[in-house]
Amino acid sequence: QLSATFYDTSCPSAMSIIKSGVTAAVNNERRMGASLLRLHFHDCFVQGCDASVLLAGNERNAGPNLSLRGFGVIDSIKTQVEAACKQTVSCADILAVAARDSVVALGGPSWSVPLGRRDSLGAATATQVINSLPPSTDSLAQLISAYASKGLSATDLVALSGAHTIGVARCRGFRTRLYNDTNINSAFATALQANCPRATGSGDGNLAPLDTTTPSAFDNAYFTNLLSQKGLLHSDQELFNGGSTDSTGRSFACSAAAFGSAFATAMVKMGNIAPLTGTQGQIRLSCSAANS
Binding residues for substrate: 134
Is 37 among the residues that bind ligand HEM (CB under 6 A)? yes
The residue among 121 and 130 lying less far from ligand HEM, judged by its C-beta, is 130
The residue among 55 and 96 lying less far from ligand HEM, judged by its C-beta, is 96
Residue 230 vs residues 165, 173, 193: alpha-carbon distances, Å = 12, 15, 13
Binding residues for Ca(2+): 43, 46, 48, 50, 52, 59, 165, 211, 214, 219
Distance CA 25, CA 245 (A): 35
Q: Half-sphere exposure of residue 219, counting CA atoms within 13 Å on the CB side?
A: 11
Is 166 among the residues that bind ligand HEM (CB under 6 A)? yes
Q: What residues from 197 to 236 belong to the interface with Ca ion (CB under 5 A)? A: 211, 214, 217, 219, 221
* Nearest distance in Å: CB 3, ligand HEM: 22
Distance CA 205, CA 169 (A): 9
Distance CA 48, CA 178 (A): 33
On whether the CB atoms of residues 31 and 122 are closer than 8 A, the answer is no
**Which residue in the set 21, 48, 109, 134 belongs to the binding site for ligand HEM (CB under 6 A)?**
134
Distance CA 231, CA 212 (A): 8
Q: Mind giving me the DSSP string for 126-174?
A: HHHHHHHSPPTT--HHHHHHHHHTTT--HHHHHHHHGGGGS-EEEHHHH
Distance CA 69, CA 168 (A): 12
Beta-carbon count within 10 A of 126 CB: 17
| Catalytic residue ranges | 42
The shares of helix, strand and coil residues in the chain, as percent rounded to the nearest 5, are 50, 5, 45
On whether the CB atoms of residues 89 and 282 are closer than 8 A, the answer is no
| Residue 165's binding partner out of Ca ion, ligand HEM, none, with CB under 5 to 8 Å set by partner kind | Ca ion
Binding residues: 43, 46, 48, 50, 52, 59, 134, 164-165, 211, 214, 219
Is 53 among the residues that bind ligand HEM (CB under 6 A)? no
Is 159 among the residues that bind ligand HEM (CB under 6 A)? no
The residue among 111 and 259 lying less far from Ca ion, judged by its C-beta, is 259
Is 34 among the residues that bind ligand HEM (CB under 6 A)? yes
| Residue 161's binding partner out of Ca ion, ligand HEM, none, with CB under 5 to 8 Å set by partner kind | ligand HEM
* Nearest distance in Å: CB 292, ligand HEM: 31
The residue among 98 and 203 lying less far from Ca ion, judged by its C-beta, is 98
Q: Report the candidate in 108, 101, 107 with the shortest Cα–Cα distance to residue 23.
A: 101
**Based on the number of CB atoms within 10 Å of its own CB, is 194 exposed (0-12), middle (13-18) or buried (19 or more)?**
exposed
Q: Which stretch in 17-25, 33-41, 74-82, 177-185 sits in contact with ligand HEM by CB under 6 A? A: 33-41
Positions that interact with Ca ion (CB under 5 A): 43, 46-47, 50, 52, 165, 211, 214, 217, 219, 221
Positions that interact with ligand HEM (CB under 6 A): 31, 34-35, 37-38, 41, 67, 69, 134-136, 143, 160-161, 163-164, 166-170, 173, 210, 233, 235
